[in-house]
Amino acid sequence: MEKISKFIKTFLLLELLRGMSVTLRNMFSRNITVHFPEEKTPQSHRFRGLHAQRRYPNGEERCIGCKLCEAVCPALAINIEVAEREDGTRRTTRYDIDLTKCIFCGFCEEACPVDAIVETRIFEYHGENCGDLYYTKQMLLAVGDKHEVQIAKDRAADAKYR
Amino acid sequence: MEAQILHLFQWFWSLFGLWDLLWGVIEPIWPMLWILIKIVAIVAPLMIGVAYLTYAERKILAYMQVRVGPNRVGYYGLLQPIVDGVKLLFKELIVPIRSNKFLFAISPVLVLAPALAAWAVIPFSNGVVLANVNAGMLYILSMTSIGVYGVIIAGWASNSKYAFLGSMRSAAQMVSYELPMGFALVCVLMAAQSMNLTDIVNGQQSKAGLFGWYLIPLFPMFVIYFISGVAETNRAPFDMAEGESEIVAGFHVEYSGMGFALFFLGEYANMILISALTSLFFLGGWLSPFHGWPLLGAATDWIPGIVWLLGKMFFILFMFLWFRATFPRYRYDQLMRLGWKILIPFTLLWVVVVAAWMQTPLWLW
Amino acid sequence: MLTNLFVSLMANFQALVFFMLAIITVIAALRVITSRDPVHAALFLVLIFFSTAGIWMLMEAEFLALTLVLVYVGAVMVLFLFVVMMLDINLERLREGFWRWFPFGAALAVVMVVEMVWVLGNEQTAKTGEHVAKHAANYSNTKELGRLIYTDYVYAFELAAVILLVAIVAAIALAFRRRGGTKRQDSEKQVAVKRADRIRLVSVSPEKRGE
């Protein structure tokens, strides 16, 4: 009996029709696409996007060249060289992040004892030439200078969970 | 029709006083020229139809998947197919080394040409047809069956294993599904007692409108014809010839630029062809579904036949896209099983059933 | 002048088309036996079928012409190509023994030529081309052919059909064997599977029972 009903069902293509009804129903449902440049989804303050180097309010760069971020980076995307500055402080002479290697895990930010390297909310950056996404210290500092207000606000919002 | 067009030409060229000169030149070749004009009148809208079918496909698929689809180029992305065409036109043509250059070059043409040639016998309205041949149905069948050569040759000539596998698959598939398609058409042939496409449509004319179509007595054949048509055009869920996930893109992996575009055109032209044939064979072609009905019949009889035909074609094309949005791809052995073990025996049986039915007074069509 | 030429051309249009198709057929036939690549040979054979269909069309045998395209071009040659493309043919080995088999082949060719001369040279059959009567536009070649096959020549036709059937059965019986140890999927079984066949619902209490 069951076999017969199954046979009839197969020949009437009932299962196929049911599948087609699902797609047809979805065709008239409201689509949920976000029209990206015009519309954007809300972001968390913990969003991990483009990297930035921060400065203290007096303009001094925060990074002390401890190389913790270089050590923790799982993708080996960070390259640091350190030397003594004239005033005797330990500073980086080179701080490069290869964004094509970076996996945006945020470990560098976690490892940093002075909150120097941070990840910002920026994600629509791009490069037009090979090597454009190899960010040097100057570029990172420039990003930090430009978005300092937003960065500080995000750190403040997250402070109580740390 | 011919005289009117000729008159229009005469009026136009007489404006410049060139008509007598022109007519002296074109008079001997006018019959050929007239055929050429008719061919252009069929092929040009067909090509535009193909372009916008790709747009419709992307939009409908998108909406069925709760997306938006192309919406950047022009209003609602309406210029997208044109932009795509221009892009393909300017792309570099890459010919793989150790491929057979000549066969590699002609195979896209071999895919597209039969798809266009089959339109010669398609009637658009009563008498509006390029070639009103008696064996029109046979002509259609043979034209659709030679489309497979382009695919096979493309796969073989490009000297690539993916392409070759794709072409082997599609060759087996197209040969297998031709049989149920042919048997389904045999039923139509018996019902209409003619192989002339115009006669087949006229055979569906009745006072009952919709109920006079062969869709009603031959409904299983309609379903099988359409399934075979989907398989014949290598469309989802029977698109194993392309099979992106296993053999990357199948027989046209190695093609770029216009070569690829021609394959694309061929596939979509075939889809439009199958939809036209399905509406002619089973859905009464240009006949109104309400003809002869008490109220609706009188209210809709003024609509020209071509509108009905196009409407039916749109519906069938929508079904193609709907299938693609709904069903996952068949596995090769499942496809062969469906073709040989289910469709062919069933159609064979149904041919006998219809033949017996036609001998009884219960046959009303 | 130009138009005159054109008019005379159109008058003999049929002859022109015939000779074009005939030339294509002959050249393609030669290429079938001379081309080195078996795939090319098969494709030339397709071309022969095509131009032959054209010639038959000229003789108003449109049913036969279209069936030739449908059956031979659309199905038989596809399967042929299918096989030829998959074979890894060693041309050197094919050439071996050419001279040994040459007398046999030559004898066959002579027999065929004699047969053709005999048929074409015959008074009765020679005028085949002229015999073709012009028919009215609504004359249906297909209907005529069907009537003949199923009335006058029904025995011959049925006999041919039975022979073909026997050939099919024989071919399948020869090729059909099921090797042991191969793993294969049975779509029918796979399709028939129900949820209950694959899933066993077990109710597990969320905590360990007290010991």
- pLDDT, position C166: 95
Spell out which residues of chain C touch residue B337, defining contact as CB-CB under 8 Å: 187-188
Q: What is the ipTM of this complex?
A: 0.78
Q: Is C35 on the interface with B (CB under 8 A)?
A: no
Peptide bond into B237 cis (omega under 30): yes
pLDDT per position as a tens digit, C136-189: 556 677 777 888 888 888 999 999 999 999 999 999 899 887 777 778 777 778
DSSP state letters, C72-86: IIIIIHHHHHHHHHH
Rounded alpha-carbon distances, angstroms, from residue C161 to A112, C112, C157: 87, 26, 6
As beta bridge partners, residue A119 has: A51
Classify A103 as helix, strand or coil. Answer: coil
Selected residue of B29, B102, B145, B341 to mutate for chain C interface (largest C Cβ count, 10 A)? B145
CA B97 to chain CA centroid, nearest Å: 34
Q: How far is CA B4 from CA B11, B14, B30, B126, C18, in A?
A: 10, 15, 14, 18, 35
Task: Quote the mean pLDDT of chain C.
Answer: 80
Q: Dihedral angle at the C-alpha atoms of B94, B100, B106, B110, nearest 10 degrees?
A: -110
CB contact under 8 A, A13 and B327: no
Token representation of residue C197 = 């066949």
Output the pTM of the full model. Answer: 0.81
At A96 the three-state DSSP class reads strand
Residue C4 confidence (pLDDT)? 66
Provide the pLDDT for residue C137.
Answer: 57
CA atoms of C15 and C9, how far apart (whole Å)? 9
SS3 state at A95 = strand
Look at residue C163 in the predicted model and tell me its pLDDT: 95
What is the edge-to-edge ordering of all strands in the sheet holding A134-135?
Answer: A78-84, A90-98, A134-135
Q: What SS3 class is residue A131?
A: coil
| Structure-block tokens of residue B327 | 């069903």
- Tokens representing residue B269 in the block: 């032209």
Task: Verify whether the Cβ–Cβ distance C78 to B175 is below 8 Å.
Answer: yes
In this predicted structure, the answer to whether residue C111 has a pLDDT above a threshold of 90 is: yes
Cβ-proximal residues to C57 (8 Å cutoff; 6+ apart), any chain: C65
Inter-residue contact B270 to B144 (CB < 8 Å): yes
* pLDDT value at residue C125: 58
Closest to A149 measured CA to CA, from A130, A126, A125, A121: A121
> What is the distance, to the nearest Å, from the Cα of residue A158 to the centroid of all Cα atoms in its chain?
16
Residues from chain B contacting residue A22 (CB–CB below 8 Å): 326
Three-state secondary structure of chain B: CHHHHHHHHHHHHHCCCCHHHHHHHHCCCHHHHHHHHHHHHHHHHHHHHHHHHHHHHHHHHHHHCCCCCCCCCCHHHCCHHHHHHHHHHHCCCCCCCCCCHHHHHHHHHHHHHHHHHHHHHCCCECCECCCCCCCHHHHHHHHHHHHHHHHHHHHHHCCCHHHHHHHHHHHHHHHHHHHHHHHHHHHHHHHHCCCCHHHHHHCCCCCCHHHHCCCCCCHHHHHHHHHHHHHHCCCCCCCCCCCHHHHCCHHHCCCCHHHHHHHHHHHHHHHHHHHHHHHHHCCCCCCCCCCCCCCHHHHHCCCCHHHHHHHHHHHHHHHHHHHHHHCCCCCHHHHHHHHHHHHHHHHHHHHHHHHHHHCCCCCCC
**B189 in C contact zone (CB under 8 Å):** no
Q: Are C77 and C45 in contact (CB under 8 A)?
A: yes
For residues A36 and A41, what is the distance between their CA atoms, to the nearest angstrom? Answer: 8
pLDDT at position C112 is 92
> What is the pLDDT, as a whole number, of residue C108?
93
Integer-rounded Cα Rg, in Å, for chain A is: 26
Per DSSP, chain A holds a count of helices (H) and strands (E) of 5, 5
DSSP state of A53: E
Residue A72 has what pLDDT?
93
Q: What sections of chain A are H helices per DSSP? A: 2-11, 14-28, 68-72, 107-111, 137-158
Q: In which band, very low, low, confident or very high, does the pLDDT at C129 lie, cut at 50, 70 and 90?
A: low
B232 CB within 8 Å of a chain C CB: no
Q: Each residue's pLDDT tens digit in chain B (365 positions)?
A: 677 777 887 788 777 777 777 777 777 777 788 888 888 888 888 888 898 998 999 998 888 888 888 888 888 888 888 888 888 888 888 888 888 888 888 888 888 888 888 888 888 887 777 777 777 888 888 888 888 888 888 888 888 888 888 888 888 888 888 888 888 888 888 888 888 888 888 888 877 777 878 888 888 889 999 998 888 888 878 887 776 777 777 778 888 888 888 888 888 988 999 999 999 888 888 887 877 777 777 777 777 888 888 889 999 999 989 998 888 888 888 888 888 888 899 898 989 988 888 888 877 77
pLDDT at position C1: 55
Contact B64 A35 (CB under 8 A): no
Beta-carbon separation of B64 and A23 below 8 A: yes
Radius of gyration of chain C (CA): 29
Strands A78-84 and A117-119: unpaired
> What pLDDT, on the 0 to 100 scale, is given for residue B18?
76
C contact chains, 3+ CB pairs < 8 A? B
The answer to whether A23 faces chain B, any CB pair under 8 Å, is yes
CA gap C86, B161 in Å, rounded: 11
Q: Per residue in C37-54, pLDDT tens?
A: 788 888 899 889 989 988
**Looking at CA atoms only, how far is residue A127 from chain B in angstroms?**
23
Structure tokens at A21: 């009804």
Residue B63: list chain A partners with CB under 8 A. Answer: 26-28, 31
- CA B70, CA B81: separation in Å to the nearest integer? 10
Whether residue C46 and residue B156 make contact (CB cut-off 8 A), yes or no, is no
C-alpha to C-alpha distance for B321 and B317, rounded to whole angstroms? 7
Contacting partners of chain A (3+ CB pairs under 8 A)? B
Res C128 pLDDT > 70? no
Does residue C7 have a pLDDT over 70? no
Cβ contact, residue pair B168, C85, below 8 Å: yes
Please report which residue ranges of C1-61 form alpha helices under DSSP H: 2-11, 13-34, 38-58
Measured N-to-C along each axis, helices C2-11 and C13-34 cross at an angle, to the nearest 10 degrees, of 70
Instruction: Find all residues with CB under 8 Å of A144, minimum gap 6, and list them.
Output: A52, A53, A54, A55, A118, A151
Closest CB to A31: pick one of B60, B63, B223.
B63
Q: Which residues of chain A have pLDDT under 50?
A: none
Structure tokens at C30: 């030669």
Chain B environment of C142 (Cβ under 8 Å): 134-135, 138, 195
Higher pLDDT, B248 or C202: C202
Is the separation of the CB atoms in A78 and A88 below 8 Å?
A: no
B333 touches chain C (CB under 8 A): yes
Average pLDDT (C47-73) is 85
Nearest-CB residue to C63 (from B138, B156, B164): B138
The answer, for B104 touching chain C at a CB cutoff of 8 Å, is no
- Residue C133: pLDDT band (50, 70, 90) is low
Q: Which of A27, A28, A30, A35 to mutate to test the interface with B (most CBs of B within 10 A)?
A: A27
| Chain B contact partners (≥3 CB pairs within 8 A) | A, C
Query: B253: distance to nearest CA of chain C, Å?
Result: 18
CA–CA separation, B240 and B238 (whole Å):
6
